[in-house]
Every structure is written in structure tokens, then in C-alpha cells.
Structure 1
Amino acid sequence: MFLIILGVLITILSYFIGRGDSPLTRFSTLIRAGGIVIILAGAALSMFKVVGVGQVGVKTLYGKVDNDVLYSGLNFINPLVEVTPFDVKTQNYTMSAVHDEGSKSGDDAIRILTSDGLEVTIDLSVLFSVKPKDAPRILKEIGDDYLDKIVRPIARTAIRDNAVSYEAVALYSTKRQEFQNKIFTTINQSFAKRGLQLEQLLIRNVTLPESVKKTIESKINAEQDAQKMQFVLQKEKQEAERKRVEAQGIADYQRILSTGLSDKQLQYESIQAQKAIALSPNAKIIMMGNGKNPIILGGN
């Protein structure tokens, strides 16, 4: 387009030069020819437009947006058409309390009030993309600065509107996934109406007030101490049970010995022991007295 305008200006200038008495008058025809060449070259170059990978081009002619988009590659267009590129790849818009980590510098985290009146800070990442066929509508209704006009305000509003239904500790722990699913649904519906596709929503961090954090830490420590004490008591109970069973076994054994063995049984066991000694090659048996109480002397 620039070359076309330049060529037109040169052609007009050559017309005025040709009508004057300037020393350049004799070159007016040559200048006019050069202007025409520049116009033709500019028109030829403007008829071809390269759209980058992962982009679509939206055509505009005198303020009117064409609903047909240009896809990546070389495209043949009207030289008077202006083309606005739109990125249709996955985009990441992050709002974080960490400086220079989010899409905006500084602390850009979302601060919300929960149902119990506590202020919670949330870091959020929104993964989304522009629907290629809806790029012309976005340009007409929103413009190419849809990040600040759509993505940021919708995401922050959805977080705040849904947070009022939860307590701070629940957002931090048990209800975190449920909360994330709710705001995903809310944002996705709003994006779909405006030509954007929500791909994923990530609650990266939930920061509780310092007083609540200390309360949670104290509770966790108390629970850990209780579990430790329960383990010790269980171990002592098992040890006591083991000793009780052992003592009962010893008592039962002694009771059996004291009540279950008769004199004949004991005499029989004694004879068996004496017999085993007598059969030993290194033992001799000497009977003394009436034989009821033999004395056994061993020797080689």
C-alpha cells in the first residue's frame, strides 16, 4: 500500500513539473513513468499476502470486515485490502503474585473474599485460543486487544463471583478442584459467546491469610501428635497382650505338670532316661540298694 501511495504522489508531482518552467520539466515524462512503475509494483506486491504459521488473517476494505479469513501461507488478495493477523495457537494468560511471572508486571494475583469473610489470594493461568472462523467477529466487536477486554476481566470476575460460595480453608484444600471446575464452566460459556475457546484453567496457588495458615499448621501438628500417641498406645497394648499370652502359657504348662503327671508316669520317664544312658558306649550302670534308686556311674 505504501508503494502505491508513493507512486501516486510521484505521478501527480510529475504532472505539475511538466507544466512549469523548472529545469526538471524535461524529465517530467520520465518521472511520471517512474511513478507509474512504482504504482504497478506496489499493486503487484499488495496482491500477495503471507500469513504466518498458527495465524489467520482478517481482511478489511475501507472499514468493512470480510467474514472470510486468510489461512497460513501465501494468499492472493485485493491490493487495497488491509489484513489484520490473529494468533490461533494456544495462548497463556497468567495472573500471578510473583513479579514478572504473569502477563502483567508486578503483583497481578486475584484477591477475593470468601464466604467466611477472609481475603484469599489466587494465582491463575488461563489457556485459550481464538476460533479461526470467529476472528472477523472478534475484530468487529472487540478488536485485536481481546486479552485486556475479554480474557482478563472475565477470568477475574468468574473467580470472585464463585469464591463467595466457599470458605477459605475449603478453597485451599477439599473444595479446590470443585471450585476450579465451576469457574472453568463460567469462563468457558463467556468465551464461547465471543469467539474464544477455553482449553484449560489452572489454579496455580491459593494463599491464605497468615492467621489462618498458623491455625492450619497447629491443627496439622496436633493431628500428627495424636496419631503418634495412638501408635505408641497401640504398640504398648500389643506388647501387654503378648506378655499376657506368654504368662498364661507358662501358667498352663505348670498346671499340667502339677496335675497331669502321676508317680507311675514319672517312674516310666526315669526308666527311659536310664535306658538311654545304659546304651551309651561310654557309660556303666552299677545297681546299689534295692534297685529302686540305682546309681549310674559313667566311665570309659
Structure 2
Amino acid sequence: MIKKFLKWLKGKIPLLIVLALILLLLIVFFFNRIFITINSGEAGVLYQRFSAGTVTDYVYAEGIHLVAPWDTMYIYNVRIQTQLHDFEVLTNRGLPINLTLAIRYRPEYETVGLLHQQVGPNYLNTIIVPEIESELRKHIGHYNPEDIYINKENILTEIFVSALDSLGQKFVKVNDVVIRTVTLPTEIKKAIEKKLIEEQSYQTYDFKLKIEEKEAERKLIEAQGIRDYQEIISETLNEKLIKWQGIQATLQLSESENTKVVIIGGGKDGLPIIGNVPISSNEMTQPASP
């Protein structure tokens, strides 16, 4: 039996060699379609030509995958990506505004199969950009150019939040939309900037007025305090108290070293003193020589 098999195989060897060579050539020719490499930050979606079509319930992760040559593996970048986008929108007065946006987005990893089946690889220009533009045009048309230019009450932020909520239901994740520039017609821009400068000047002037009002109130309170103080003091002052305070002041001056003091008292009962300091208390009670 073995001899018969070997005899049969000997006659078939040339044919087997040919078949092996053909198979090898096919593998080399279709190598890139059979051995698929999915790199870091990517996800694969398989399209099976003769069976299920697009596989939506399984995502091919990073690594090498063996695929039939008649099937196709579509690879998606699932990292956060940034796309710059410029477009023009009209305000409620029909004036054009040019916006430059930076859109940060990525596909949802778990639903990348559905994204491929229902939208396709060009999902950025198919759903993300049109959805954001639609929300901006719908809402900006209700505002004045000035409100948009200064982003009054975070108008643009609220519009973007609405757009992001809508995109979240379409297999993609938009992390953020950043407004890089807002460009108005030159004349409108100058008029808005002039108005803003005038408003700032008015606020500065109003602030100065409030400061002056507070200062006037402070001075009035201070004057009233001085008046009340003088009224209280005038009720307690008498001639003996004043003379006693003068003696105390003279003693304090006499305690200072290297000081020459000449004090001439005035009035009938003044305290005339002439001498070098320190001055004794006895000298302070003596009137000056004529």
C-alpha cells in the first residue's frame, strides 16, 4: 500500500510543485490583503464580500489579523484629531461674519463598524462639519454682529454645546470646538471697537465719580468728628488746665539733650523761661528777667 502511494506521489510531484509555486505566488501577491496590521491608535472594520457584509458587532483591535483576500479591512484612526475649518455666516442684519474654527474629534471606538456602514470614512465632511455649520447658522442669525464679535453671554459656547449633543448620537465624539478668529467687515469692526472704547471710558469716568463721592463723604464725617471733638474739649478747658499743660510741655522739652530753648510766656500769668536745657523745675516756675 505504501509502495503504491509512493509510486503515485512520484508521478504527481511535478504537479504538486507547480501548485505550491502558484500558492506561494498568490500569497506574495495578496500578502497585504491577507495579513493586515492595525497600528496603535487605530481600529479595523471588516467587510466580508461573500457573507455578512460589514461586521458591525466586532471591532478589530491593534495587531496583525489574517483576512481572506476577497474581504476588505477598513482602518480608522480613533485618536483625537484636529481639523481647521473656515466658513461664513450671516447675522440678523444680514452682515457676513467669517469664523475660523478648530474642531477636535474622534470616532466612537465601540460603534466604528456602524459608522463605517452608515456614514463611511469621510465622516468628518459628511456629518461633523455640516452639523456644526448648521447649528451656527441657525442660532447666529438671531444675534447682532457685536454680540457675536464679543461672544456676549457665551453665545457661541451654547451653540457649540447644542451641536456637540447632536453629534453624540451619530457614532462620533466631538471633544471641543475652538473659535480661532471672528472676522467682521472692516467698517463694522471699527464701529464696534469704537463703541467698546467709549463704553470703557464711560465706566472709568463713572468709577472716578463714585470715588469722589466716597471721598466727600469721608471728609464730611471727618469734619463732623473734629467739630464734636472741639465742642467737648471747649467745655472742659480752663485757665489752670492750660497753664498746667504748658508746664508739662516745657518739662518734656527740657529733657532733650544738647538743646537750647528760649520760651517767652505771654499774657498776665504766662510762663516766661530763658535758659539752657535741661532746665530744672524750679527754673520753670521763675519769671524771666526783664
> Given the two structures, how large is their TM-score scaled by the length of structure 1?
0.63
| CA displacement at 1:200 relative to structure 2 | 1.6
| CA displacement at 1:84 relative to structure 2 | 1.3
Equivalent residues of 1:284, 1:296 under 8 A apart: no
Q: Does 1:93 align with 2:70?
A: no
Equivalent residues of 1:188, 1:198 under 8 A apart: no
Determine the C-alpha separation between the residues in 2 that align with 1:127 and 1:266.
Answer: 85
Q: Equivalent residue for 2:72? A: 82
Equivalent residue letter for 1:66: V
Determine the C-alpha separation between the residues in 1 that align with 2:101 and 2:155.
Answer: 15
Equivalent residues of 1:283, 1:297 under 8 A apart: no
Alpha-carbon distance change, 75 to 120 in structure 1, aligned in 2, over 3 angstroms = same
Alpha-carbon distance change, 189 to 270 in structure 1, aligned in 2, over 3 angstroms = closer
3-state secondary structure, aligned to 2:40: strand
Equivalent residues of 1:158, 1:187 under 8 A apart: no
Q: Equivalent residue for 2:54? A: 65
Calculate the aligned-residue CA RMSD, in Å: 4.4
Q: Equivalent residue for 2:103? A: 126
Equivalent residue letter for 2:199: E
**Structure 1 stretches lacking a partner, 5+ long:** 1-26, 96-108, 287-293
Alignment of 1:134-149 (within 5 A): 134-149=111-126
- Residues 144-198 of structure 1, C-alpha deviations (whole Å, 9 max, x = no match): 22222222222222211121222222223353624322333234324523x2122
Of all paired residues, the percent bearing the same amino acid is 19
**Structure 2 stretches lacking a partner, 5+ long:** 1-13, 251-269
| CA displacement at 1:234 relative to structure 2 | 5.2
- Residues 36-57 of structure 1, C-alpha deviations (whole Å, 9 max, x = no match): 4323555777543211111111
Q: Equivalent residue for 2:11? A: none
| CA displacement at 1:73 relative to structure 2 | 0.9
Q: Does 1:185 align with 2:162?
A: yes
Alpha-carbon distance change, 166 to 256 in structure 1, aligned in 2, over 3 angstroms = same
Equivalent residue letter for 1:48: F
Q: Equivalent residue for 1:18? A: none
3-state secondary structure, aligned to 2:61: strand
Q: Equivalent residue for 2:131? A: 154
Alpha-carbon distance change, 176 to 114 in structure 1, aligned in 2, over 3 angstroms = farther
Q: Equivalent residue for 2:43? A: 56
3-state secondary structure, aligned to 2:189: helix
Determine the C-alpha separation between the residues in 1 that align with 2:91 and 2:81.
Answer: 29
Equivalent residues of 1:59, 1:81 under 8 A apart: yes
> Would you say how many aligned residue pairs link Structure 1 and Structure 2?
250
